[in-house]
Amino acid sequence: QKASIYFFLYTLAGSLLTLLGVIALVVVHYRYSPDHVLTFSIPELTDGLKRLTWSRWHEVGLWSSPQTLIFLLLFAGFAIKVPMFPFHTWLPLAHVEAPTAGSILLAGVLLKVGSYGLVRFNLGMTPLGAVALFPLLATLAVVGIIYGALVALSQSDMKRLVAYSSVSHMGFIVLGLFALNSTGL
């Protein structure tokens, strides 16, 4: 019961923040695009946001840039799905309580959805937010790599070992994504 509540609350909170981020992207695109097109199409939004003439959209600022603020909204949900340190606490509980097949689906599929979202939304639509927050993102990824590996070493339960090693492995993926170069990507 505790695992399901953690999973539900983390997923709900992250999904709501990501939904707000997507709505913000749609509103920015609608408001500042030359044609004022209202669309939820990912390719159209990605292309349209790159071509915006709104000067504030192209600012590189730590917290004041619209891209950075929207990046954080999107990142909240995807960081939970990845799961990235410190948003990972739902994962060990879910792995332990899930049947083996469910645990494999968690490690093999669900966690990768978060990294896909980071590539498609965060890097694709708000790249200047990634640039502004690079030091924080890289630090969290490295902490997740080391923390996940060290905690995995001390586990006697195989499912908890898989959970914490997944935190460590996904830290490598996030670090590669936010290295902001083609090799990392």
pTM for this one?
0.86
Nearest C-alpha neighbor of 11 from the set 82, 116, 97, 108 = 82
Q: What is the pLDDT of residue 11?
A: 84
Nearest C-alpha neighbor of 79 from the set 173, 180, 165, 181 = 173
In the predicted model, residues of the chain with pLDDT beneath 50 are none
Nearest C-alpha neighbor of 142 from the set 110, 176, 185, 108 = 176
Tell me whether the omega of the peptide bond preceding residue 34 falls within 30 degrees of 0, making it cis: no
pLDDT, one tens digit per residue, over 92-135 is 877 777 777 777 777 777 778 889 999 999 999 999 888 988 99
Q: What is the pLDDT of residue 110?
A: 78
